[in-house]
Amino acid sequence: MDENQHPVKLSVHPSRGLVDEKFTVLVQNVPPGFQLTVHALHQCNSSHIWEAFGHYTADATGTVNVGEDPSLGGTYSGVEQMGLLWSLRPVPGSRPGLRMHKLNVQTPMEVTVSVFRGHQTEGFKDQGPLVSVVVERWYMAPGVCRIPVTEGGLTATLFLPPGPGPFPGILDLWGSEIQLLEYRAALLASHGFASLALDYMFHKMTSGKMVDYQYIEEAYRVLQQHPQVHSTRIAVLGFSLGTSVILNLTAYSEVVKPRCAVCISGSHVQPVDGSFNQVISFYEANQKKIRYNEKNEVICRDLVLPIPTDPKLKVDVGRIQCPLLLIAGEDDQSWPAHESAMDMKEMMERAGNSHLLTVLSYPNTGHLIEPPYGPHRATTIDHHRNVALWGGQMVPHCIAQEDAWKKTLVFLRENLHKTCAASVSKL
């Protein structure tokens, strides 16, 4: 370190935050006008290294505040308080098509935030930074319990908030991921919801056949009957293929009667008479509609386009009796979420239940709408080496994630926590 220079001070607050909490990154004690790079580095569970960085110029007091000062370049630009996280990307030389998933939610995501001299764009690992701190980002708040569930033949994980129950419950369904992703359910539990993350793909992976709807209904029942869950205050939340399941059950099931439903990046298009396996077969039968762009990236959205007029090929959302939140990215290349949302809106208007519907449709936003501040991936490569195009541009997609999550939490709180109009309960 240059002996003539004062030691640089770097602080990130909070140093241990939940993944959906904002942080303040403050650099102090540099000369006024000093050019520096604020850099973030994260080593993912699969040992891949991701980085992000912004270029800054210190003000007259020798300070840079990432939340207030503009980044002049790097992996993000402008005033972006959380840019160091959402613009993370695999370092040069990494395997293409990586996706960042936190598999073990009981440990934090660790990010090293550093300050480098000058406006750098590469070679960070070969230089010593001026100063570094370590920041933890948690999916689980203290006191949240993680409970694997095998009751009723399920493969699921329940996350219970701390404190005296009972709590409102959420059944959380992902899409066609090959392993159970727990992080959204863990985060929802950190917000006071007893959340059950359900794995329904394992059967398809092993036997080629999808589980039936009774399996999902059983998960709903298990959640409802749990002594620390409010039996009448349960929501269902689905992403991608999970949306197909949620919409079907919410409209038709005698067992699944949620207080509200959240559907992200999905569609109501599916054959409604028949089993879930038949739904999968329907999608698979339409595989000829899959396109490849000039980069050989797979675009699946046409599988269910055009939106059919045949009522047997889409969930009758006019039957839904609870508030429904639809979240769609208008540049979703995997599912036509926006077109589906528009069609569902029309159906509900005709049926007279559109007062239950809220649509959040985000321009330039892709398929993978996840909890906020995670990096945007326009394409990923799966275990079969298929390159899937998810769509979306980084900045609007990340803005959409932040907004959608905030609104999802408000929606869930409003519908799961509010007092019944019929009675005013005294504490």
Partner 1 sequence: MMQQRHKMNMQVAVRRLGSAGGVLSVCHGPKIHTVLRRLSAKAQSPRPILSVAPIRALVDEKFKVSVENLPPAAPVTVHSLHQSEDQDCWEAYGHYISDHRGTVSVSEDLSFGGTYSGKEPMGLLWSMRPVPGSRFGLRLRKMDVCAPMLVNITVFSGHEGFREHAPLASVVTERWHVAPGVQRVEVTIEGMRGTLFIPPGLGAFPGVIDIWGGGGGLPEYRAALLASHGYATMALENFALDDLKGKNLDLNYFEMALDKLKNHPQVISDRVGVVGLSLGAIFLLYLTAESPTFKPQCCISICGSNILSNDGTLNGFYNSMFRNINKSRLDENNSLIWQDVGLEMLCDPTSLVDVGKINCPLLLVSGTDDQSWPTPKFADLMAQMMRSAGKEHLVTTLAYPDAGHLIEPPFSPHFRATAFKVGGNNKKVIMLWGGHTKPHADAQEDSWTKILTFLKQHLYSSH
Nearer to partner 1, 118 or 311 (CB): 118
Give the C-alpha distances (Å, rounded to integers) separating 188 from 84, 163, 340.
Answer: 23, 15, 26
As to burial, measured by CB atoms within 10 angstroms (0-12 exposed, 13-18 middle, 19+ buried), residue 143 is: exposed
Closest separation in Å from C-beta 53 to partner 1: 16
Q: Please state, in angstroms and rounded to a whole number, the distance separating the CA atoms of residues 86 and 374.
A: 5
Does 6 bind partner 1 (CB under 8 A)? Our answer is yes
Nearer to partner 1, 29 or 277 (CB): 29
Closest separation in Å from C-beta 289 to partner 1: 45
Does 232 bind partner 1 (CB under 8 A)? Our answer is yes
Residue 176 near residue 201 (C-beta atoms within 8 A): yes
Residue 76-115 contact track with partner 1, rule CB under 8 A, x = bound: --------------------------------x-x-x-x-
Contacts (Cβ under 8 Å, ≥6 apart) of 239 = 173, 174, 175, 184, 264, 265, 266, 369
Known active-site residue 190 = no
Nearer to partner 1, 161 or 375 (CB): 161
Does 123 bind partner 1 (CB under 8 A)? Our answer is no
Per CB under 8 A, contacts with partner 1 among 359-388 are none
H/E/C letters for each residue in 48-77?
CEEEEEEEEECCCCCCEECCCCCECCECCC
Angle between helices 241-252 and 276-285 (to 10 degrees): 140
Does 406 bind partner 1 (CB under 8 A)? Our answer is no
Does 152 bind partner 1 (CB under 8 A)? Our answer is no
Nearer to partner 1, 207 or 425 (CB): 425
Closest separation in Å from C-beta 69 to partner 1: 20
Q: Please state, in angstroms and rounded to a whole number, the distance separating the CA atoms of residues 417 and 411.
A: 10
Does 21 bind partner 1 (CB under 8 A)? Our answer is yes
Nearer to partner 1, 58 or 211 (CB): 58
Nearer to partner 1, 99 or 137 (CB): 137
Residue with tokens 């959040």: 360
Known active-site residue 48 = no
Q: Please state, in angstroms and rounded to a whole number, the distance separating the CA atoms of residues 125 and 140.
A: 30
Does 408 bind partner 1 (CB under 8 A)? Our answer is no
Nearest to 376 by CA among 385, 386, 366: 366
Q: Name the token pair of 131.
A: 């100063």
Contact with partner 1 (CB under 8 A) among 48, 81, 91, 136 = 136
Residue 154 near residue 218 (C-beta atoms within 8 A): yes
Q: Name the token pair of 356.
A: 């239950």
Does 59 bind partner 1 (CB under 8 A)? Our answer is no
Residue 109: half-sphere exposure toward Cβ, Cα within 13 Å: 27
Number of residues that bind partner 1 (CB under 8 A): 59
Does 132 bind partner 1 (CB under 8 A)? Our answer is yes
Known active-site residue 20 = no
Q: Given 240, 244, 334, 354, which residue is catalytic?
A: 240
Does 192 bind partner 1 (CB under 8 A)? Our answer is yes
Nearer to partner 1, 206 or 425 (CB): 425
Helix (H) or strand (E) holding 205: helix 202-207
As to burial, measured by CB atoms within 10 angstroms (0-12 exposed, 13-18 middle, 19+ buried), residue 96 is: exposed
Contact with partner 1 (CB under 8 A) among 47, 207, 309, 419 = 419
Closest separation in Å from C-beta 145 to partner 1: 5
Q: Given 42, 226, 367, 397, which residue is catalytic?
A: 367
Does 162 bind partner 1 (CB under 8 A)? Our answer is yes
Does 421 bind partner 1 (CB under 8 A)? Our answer is no
- Give CA angle at 399 (397, 405), nearest 5°: 100
Q: Which residues are catalytic?
A: 240, 332, 367
Binding site for partner 1 (CB under 8 A): 1, 6-7, 9-11, 13-18, 21, 28-29, 108, 110, 112, 114, 128-129, 131-136, 138, 141-143, 145, 147, 160-167, 190, 192, 227-228, 230-233, 413, 417-420, 423-427
